[in-house]
């Protein structure tokens, strides 16, 4: 019912006209921001802005990264960290680095079989992958990649049987965990999309295509995919109007009245790892523990929901303090550098999720691009740990962070 072709496009990625259009992309993609700039060159403006934008004035989007940048690190190179180990154990899995590819809707809009390519990239990097509910492929098609650990994002719908259906399908497909996302029940006002007249799928007239001549390699590569883009996990709601009508219907399916009884119900339905994504208040973190949740993700949806919401990194320390290591706390939002990962772990996170960077990697070079993105985080984290004299992730504590309220030099 859900099976379709799962062709691996990564083998021919470097031969594609798209990649030839961005010559020496590996050399040019020396950082996540550099990869973002390459993606901006490759993608039509409405598609790039769909990945890059956020809600309202985009205050939270900017605050997520700016708040991470405010933390200074204290190098202690004489600690002698000649060899560093960036691996972690998380929910029974050994990950090579504490960076997980988080859920992003319509990743298949950025590269053919985008979700599958990103999952394979995560597998190759030795880390985890979370599939968005709004993926182009079905959750069964993603499972066929064999990528593990793999998680499935779920929502609470007005028709609770649809939530239960996704949980049952994830169990049947061998997913290691589900991620209940709680902050998207009312869809934020993403004004870049409104200004661009962005539609799902994107519609380009002949005039538009002529004006976008520099983007034609992407359009040519995606021409077949654009004609077949759909929300793979919403088959029961497919309508005669196709994806455009589905995009309009989706917000009405979600239930803004979700509550802790729904968490209790999902916990009963799902015996595996259960995470809640969208926690920003310490009381909610404590309630999650009381309801049997296995992990929480401190997240403001990348600023795409409530503008002026607290930055994820600002909410993290108090949440980590009340959780007190009883369950893993993960951070999502604004992580663009390896030093950001180090900062988040120093403030109590077990790992970080990335979202937009995987889309930029897909746009530039498919699976290879996402692998490169993860390699950037790996190299930058390893460098930061080495310069701070830290040999392994367990050695990262808040002592590495400069805090003007705590004397670094007690004898001074």
| Active-site residue set | 301
Using an 8 Å Cβ cutoff, are 153 and 181 in contact? yes
> Distance (Å, rounded) from C-alpha 179 to C-alpha 198?
28
> Distance (Å, rounded) from C-alpha 322 to C-alpha 301?
22
Q: Which helix (H) or strand (E) segment is 376 a member of? A: helix 356-387
> Distance (Å, rounded) from C-alpha 356 to C-alpha 52?
7
CA-closest candidate to residue 130, choices 184, 164, 163, 176: 176
Radius of gyration over alpha carbons of the chain, in Å? 21
CA-closest candidate to residue 217, choices 44, 52, 8, 7: 44
- Structure token pair of residue 175: 């997913």
Instruction: Characterise 295 by phi-psi region: left (phi > 0), alpha (psi -120 to 50), beta (else).
Output: beta
What torsion do the CA atoms of 7, 10, 13, 19 make, to the nearest 10 degrees?
120
- Structure token pair of residue 50: 């769909």
Indicate if the alpha-carbon torsion angle 100, 313, 34, 183 is positive or negative.
positive
- Structure token pair of residue 214: 């520099």
- Structure token pair of residue 1: 């019912």
CA-closest candidate to residue 333, choices 358, 300, 359, 357: 300
Burial of 286 (0-12, 13-18, 19+ CB in 10 A): middle
In sequence order, the β-bridge partners of residue 297 are 277, 330
Q: Which residue has the tokens 């899995």?
A: 93
Burial of 259 (0-12, 13-18, 19+ CB in 10 A): exposed
């Amino acid at each position: 019912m859900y099976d379709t072709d799962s062709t691996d496009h990564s083998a021919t990625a470097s031969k594609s006209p798209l990649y030839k259009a961005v010559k020496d992309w590996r050399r040019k993609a020396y950082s996540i921001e550099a990869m973002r700039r390459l993606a901006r060159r490759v993608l039509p403006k409405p598609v790039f802005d769909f990945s890059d934008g956020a809600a309202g004035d985009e205050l939270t989007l900017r605050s997520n990264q700016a708040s991470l940048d405010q933390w200074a690190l204290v190098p202690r190179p004489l600690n002698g960290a000649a060899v560093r180990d960036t691996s972690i154990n998380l929910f029974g899995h050994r990950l090579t680095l504490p960076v997980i590819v988080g859920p992003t809707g319509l990743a298949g809009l950025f590269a053919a079989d985008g979700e599958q390519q990103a999952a394979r990239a995560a597998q190759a990097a030795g880390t985890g992958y979370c599939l968005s509910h709004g993926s182009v492929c079905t959750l069964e098609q993603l499972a066929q990649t064999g990528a593990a650990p793999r998680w499935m994002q779920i929502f609470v719908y007005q028709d609770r049987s649809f939530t239960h259906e996704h949980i049952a399908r994830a169990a049947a497909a061998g997913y290691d965990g589900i991620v209940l996302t709680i902050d998207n029940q009312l869809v934020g006002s993403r004004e870049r999309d409104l200004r661009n007249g962005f539609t799902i799928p994107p519609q380009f007239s002949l005039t538009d295509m002529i004006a976008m001549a520099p983007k034609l390699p992407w359009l040519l590569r995606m021409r077949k995919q654009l004609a077949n883009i759909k929300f793979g996990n919403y088959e029961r709601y497919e309508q005669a109007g196709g994806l455009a009508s589905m995009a309009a219907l989706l917000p009405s399916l979600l239930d803004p009245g979700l509550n802790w009884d729904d968490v209790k119900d999902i916990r009963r339905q799902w015996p595996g790892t259960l995470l809640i994504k969208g926690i920003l208040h310490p009381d909610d973190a404590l309630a999650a523990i009381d309801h049997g949740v296995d992990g929480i993700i401190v997240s403001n949806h990348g600023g795409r929901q409530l503008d002026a919401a607290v930055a994820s990194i600002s909410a993290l320390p108090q949440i980590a303090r009340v959780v007190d290591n009883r369950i893993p706390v993960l951070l999502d939002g604004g992580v663009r550098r390896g030093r950001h990962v180090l900062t988040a772990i120093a403030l109590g996170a077990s790992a970080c999720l990335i979202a937009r960077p995987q889309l930029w990697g897909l746009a530039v070079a498919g699976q290879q691009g996402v692998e490169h993105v993860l390699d950037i985080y790996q190299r930058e984290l390893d460098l930061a740990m080495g310069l701070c004299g830290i040999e392994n992730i367990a050695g990262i504590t808040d002592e590495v962070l400069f805090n003007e309220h705590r004397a670094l030099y007690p004898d001074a």
